[in-house]
Amino acid sequence: MSAPTLDPAVGPVPEQPQQPGEGFVETPRAGSRRAGLGERLRGSLDRRMTAPPAPVNPADEPAFLVSSAFTMIAIVCLWGLLQLLVLSDLSQARAQDLLYRDFRQQVAAGTASLGPTTPVDQPVALLRIPRLNLEQTVVEGTASGDTQLGPGHQRTTVLPGQLGTSVVMGRAATYGAPFARIADLRVGDSIQAITGQGTTQFKVIGIRRAGDPLPQPRPADAARLTLVSAEGSGFLAALRPSDAVYVDAQAAKAFPAPAGVPSVLPESEQVMQGSTSGLPLLALCLALLLAATLGVAAARQRWSAALVWVVAAPVVLALSWVTTDVAARLLPNVM
């Protein structure tokens, strides 16, 4: 205990009792520092979550709209090229698998169509060309939408193998390009056609272009098959078809052909023609893409671009897929 303090004026001053802990500086503990840091972080996060979004400068709104519009246009254009050149092959391969399964079941059950009025897009024959290592299920109809599924049978002709001349058109560059190499066939090459009536073996008798002389008249009891596709020249020739190529093949024997084959062929089903039947659906798809563009532009004013595109990209790609499929119907049916 220390000695009492003396004050000259008042005399000795009694010593005050010391409280526990008085006179010592408490050192903060590590746990206390961590707790304080956690509270500050939580407070900062709470302020950020409750803070109102930063106001968008009205002068920046046109920039958001233009940026979103150009991004959407770029996505649609690139996706269109990717789909026509790559993804359309996958789509056609899937369609061929389904068509082959259905046609095989119909042949086994004896219900395969023999013509002359088969619904469009239905399988009518199986075509095999050994030299080209090609096997394709032929569908009824030659409009651009029909040949997206596979080679199409021209409805004003008999089915392959029946008495008469049958015409089958196929694409040369897109949707599997099943007839891309028919000009490589040679006289004497074999073509096999299977229908509900049986199998017919054709032999190639000639290859011709527009302006070339027609083949000799068909014998009275023979079956003839004409394969039709497109070809071009120069850069990206496959995507810029300018002429049609024809491969004529003949079989010595033919199956009977039913009467009633249509005599008029719509313009959309003639060679090198597109179809305008999908224009209303195309207009709807374009309107939906425009709405998606405006929606993306509005969303980017409230949320980050990365978050917006993560949500919007699947919708935009799905719309682009449907739009490209519909727009492709405007292109030549053998492209």
Look at residue 183 and tell me if it is in a domain. Answer: yes
Number of domains in the chain: 1
* 196 three-class SS: coil
Is residue 61 assigned to a domain? no
The residue range of the domain holding 243 is: 78-269
Q: Specify the CATH number for the domain of residue 82.
A: 2.40.260.10
Give the pLDDT mean for 162-184.
Answer: 94
Q: Mapping DSSP to helix (H, G, I), strand (E, B) and coil, where does residue 8 land?
A: coil
Q: Is 316 a member of any domain?
A: no
Which of the residue ranges 237-246, 249-258, 277-286, 314-323 has the most confident prediction, judged by mean pLDDT? 249-258
Do 227 and 182 meet the contact criterion of CB atoms below 8 Å apart? yes
Mean pLDDT of the residues in the chain: 82
At 270, which amino acid appears? Q
Answer yes or no: is 255 within a domain: yes
Cβ-contact 143, 269 below 8 angstroms? yes
Residue 59 has pLDDT above 50, yes or no: no
d(CA 226, CA 250): 9
Q: Which of 300, 307, 327, 319 has its CA nearest to residue 61?
A: 300
Mean pLDDT confidence for 81-99: 88
**Position 34 in a domain:** no
Question: Secondary structure of the chain: what % helix, strand, coil (to 5)?
Answer: 40, 20, 40
Mean pLDDT of 131-159: 96
Q: Other CB atoms closer than 10 Å to residue 247's CB: what's the count?
A: 24
N- to C-terminal Cα distance for the chain?
110
In a domain, 144, yes or no: yes
Helix (H) or strand (E) holding 104: helix 88-109
Burial 177-214 (b: 16+ CB within 10 A, else e): bbbbebeebeeebebbbbbbbeebebebbbbeeeeeee
What's the full length of the chain, in residues? 335
Residue with tokens 């073996």: 201
Structure confidence by residue, pLDDT tens digits, 264-307: 999 999 998 988 888 898 899 888 888 888 888 788 778 887 88
Work out the pLDDT band at 309, boundaries 50, 70, 90: confident
- Rounded to the nearest angstrom, the gap between the alpha carbon of residue 111 and the centroid of all alpha carbons in its chain is 33
Residue 187 lies in a domain: yes
